[in-house]
Amino acid sequence: MGLNVNINNWLKGALIERIREIIPYAGSGSDWVHMPDYGGEKKGTWQSNRYIQIYDGRSEINGWIHYEYLGGYVCLHLEGEYAGKKYIRQSRELKRRSREYDDLKWLAPESHCISCIIKEEVTDVNDLIHKLRRLVDIFDDSLKELYGEGSSIFRELQGKYTLHHEPGVSDTSCDEVSIHSLGIAGLFDLPLSIPDYQRIYCWEKRQIESLWDSLSALSKKTHYHLGTIILQHRGGKYEIVDGQQRLVTLSLILWGLGYDGNIPLLNERFRNNDAIKHIKNAKAVITTLLRSLRDNSMLDAVLSSLLFSVIIINGDNLDLGYTFFSNQNSKGVKLTDYDLLKAHHLRYIQSEPQAVHLANNWTKLTKKEDDGTMPAEQSLGRHVYRLRKLLHKDDFNENGHYVRDEFQSAPIMIDVPPFGERFDFFEPIQGGSHFFAFVGHFNDRYKAFRVLPQVTTLRDKFGRRHKVYATLAETILFAYYLKFGTQYLSEALFCIMAKLAEHRFLKVRALELQVQQYAIESNLVQAVQFSTSPTFFLASAIGSILTSVTDYDINDGIRWDFYKKMCEMFASFDDVTVADIAKRIENEYR
């Protein structure tokens, strides 16, 4: 056995075979029993100057966990990392399970060791064997369960998942939509994935704890429905249309509880920094919650009683997926047209690193600012959209999925590549990387545009009571800025507002559709696009203004207020240098 030659022969002979009787899985060779010699015996005690360590020969139990005779007592030792924070839940569970045994005592933990002893000292070899057998009977099964490779509870929140068999609902219906009632095993047997257009994982502590509380209250005897999950089945994957936040959180909880079935979302890679931060936070929250558990009852209840209504959309009809999402979603955030555009254009990207880069940039472009506004919503979704409609004299319909429909990729001739990086607002939309660059270009231009004094004054004076005129004027002024920059921008704003004022002064009531139609018929956007310099636009716009303010009866409140706002705005401009326009401002608004 490789024991120290100075150990008394009677001790070696008495222990080795008898230990094998009570610990048959103990290893062979010299590594399972360690009995160093301290150089003599201490009077009045039975071999109390020696220690005997008995290691587990099984591969799933580490040598840092062992039974030991030390200082006259038989004990269980948890040493090294097993005495640290990483395994604190296991050691607490071990203590809980041994509370009923009055002959045991857990000693105050040390930095490197946690010990449980049998209170009475060992008197002889027979007593040593008896007490050792006692510890084995109490702790052996629990040690294997809590610390072995096949342990079923308190696993770390990390790992990989592999789908071992075909999912049970695959091809169960030839219909475009099929509906299923699935438990955890059935749902997680599907190769679930998170599509690129989905929002990032963003649950905070409050939402995680709310789901935990719901799961903690489950009973094996009754079923509990955790809402609707909407999946889109295509390309061998089941993409999550609705339910990502719940399913990601549930995956982490199940892994922590030790569920040994399929957990497909553990294979998902979260590349967005905000998503990674929230995943780390979720792991920390769940780790804390797991410490309150005492047994496997929560996992058993979840597996036996939790049910989902699962809607599966078969094929590539993303519109159908969106329709179900917007009708059924109750816990997540609805997908916007910007989410759907992201998904649409990422399909054209063949390089995964490029797709990841563009997806991260898109998240920044569509992230709301501190005031709750999204620049892309203002630049692309309002001004560029309107300019495209105005140029072609099309009606606007700013309802439904108008942004998505406008900015999906245009039809092309497959044999002819769509060359060009001009970024004109009116150009056909190229699928893929060009679209993301297109949006980024106009987003950057709009950020510079929106802080110009002409724009901020327009919003300040007209943004509330006369908003429909103000936003249209801003759109047309944005077209001018895109082409000519800030040259004669105040004069351009006067021309635009003076033309729109004709409609305002003529109408007691100004309906939005009527104002939009008037803007279309004014041809102001066409004048911008067909002008090769500011002078041609200003001359064309001034020539289209057929009346002056004195031609209208504007004594009523709404039109008089509009006139006063015009006076206030142009009185604040001191950079008007075009004589004809300066004279008009002086005669009509000062």
Residues 6+ apart with CB under 8 A from 462: 469, 470, 473, 562, 565, 569
- Residue 445 pLDDT > 90, yes or no? yes
pTM above 0.75, yes or no: no
CATH number belonging to domain 9-147: 3.30.1460
Rounded to whole angstroms, how far apart are CA atoms 507 and 75? 95
Instruction: Find out whether 69 and 122 touch, Cβ atoms under 8 Å.
Output: yes
Q: Residue 570 has which token pair? A: 């142009």
| Predicted local confidence at residue 62, as pLDDT | 55
pLDDT in tens, 518-569: 999 999 999 998 898 999 999 999 888 888 887 787 777 888 888 898 899 9
The stretch 279-304 carries a mean pLDDT of: 84
Q: What are phi and psi of 555, to 5 degrees?
A: -75, -20
Instruction: Find out whether 521 and 535 touch, Cβ atoms under 8 Å.
Output: no
DSSP designation for 461: H
Average pLDDT of the residues of the chain? 78
Q: Which residue has the tokens 């062979």?
A: 28
The stretch 435-439 carries a mean pLDDT of: 88
Q: Which residue has the tokens 């080795």?
A: 16
| Predicted local confidence at residue 6, as pLDDT | 35
SS3 313: strand
| Predicted local confidence at residue 49, as pLDDT | 44
Containing 532, the helix (H) or strand (E) segment is none
The total of other beta-carbon atoms located within 10 Å of residue 460's CB is: 14
Containing 232, the helix (H) or strand (E) segment is strand 224-234
Q: What is the DSSP string of 129-156?
A: HHHHHHHHHHHHHHHHHHHSTT--SS--
| Lowest mean pLDDT segment, chosen from 17-31, 350-364, 495-509, 529-543 | 17-31
CA dihedral angle for residue 499, residue 500, residue 503, residue 509, rounded to 10 degrees: -170
Rounded to whole angstroms, how far apart are CA atoms 473 and 495? 10
User: How far is residue 49 CA from its own chain's centroid?
Assistant: 59
**How much of the chain exceeds pLDDT 90, in percent?**
16
| Lowest mean pLDDT segment, chosen from 80-94, 105-119, 139-153 | 139-153
- 163 burial level (CB within 10 Å; 0-12, 13-18, 19+): middle
The full set of domain ranges for the chain reads 9-147, 177-335, 367-589
529 to 361, 379, 381, 396, 521: CA distances (angstroms): 30, 18, 20, 19, 15
- Residue 323 pLDDT > 60, yes or no? no
| Lowest mean pLDDT segment, chosen from 65-69, 146-150, 176-180, 302-306 | 146-150
| Predicted local confidence at residue 234, as pLDDT | 82
How many secondary structure helices (H) and strands (E) does the chain include? 23, 11
| Predicted local confidence at residue 333, as pLDDT | 47
- Residue 10 pLDDT > 70, yes or no? no
| Predicted local confidence at residue 249, as pLDDT | 93
DSSP designation for 175: S
Containing 474, the helix (H) or strand (E) segment is helix 467-484
The total of other beta-carbon atoms located within 10 Å of residue 247's CB is: 23
pLDDT in tens, 38-71: 333 433 444 444 556 665 544 445 568 888 888 7
- Residue 173 pLDDT > 60, yes or no? no
pLDDT in tens, 212-260: 988 888 877 788 888 778 888 887 888 888 888 899 999 999 888 888 7
Q: Residue 234 has which token pair? A: 């295509």
- Residue 450 pLDDT > 80, yes or no? yes
Query: How many residues does this entry show for the chain?
Result: 590
- Where does the pLDDT of residue 496 fall: very low under 50, low under 70, confident under 90, or very high at 90 and above? very high
Write the single-letter amino acid at 104.
L
Strands (E), 390-505: none
Rounded to whole angstroms, how far apart are CA atoms 20 and 23? 5
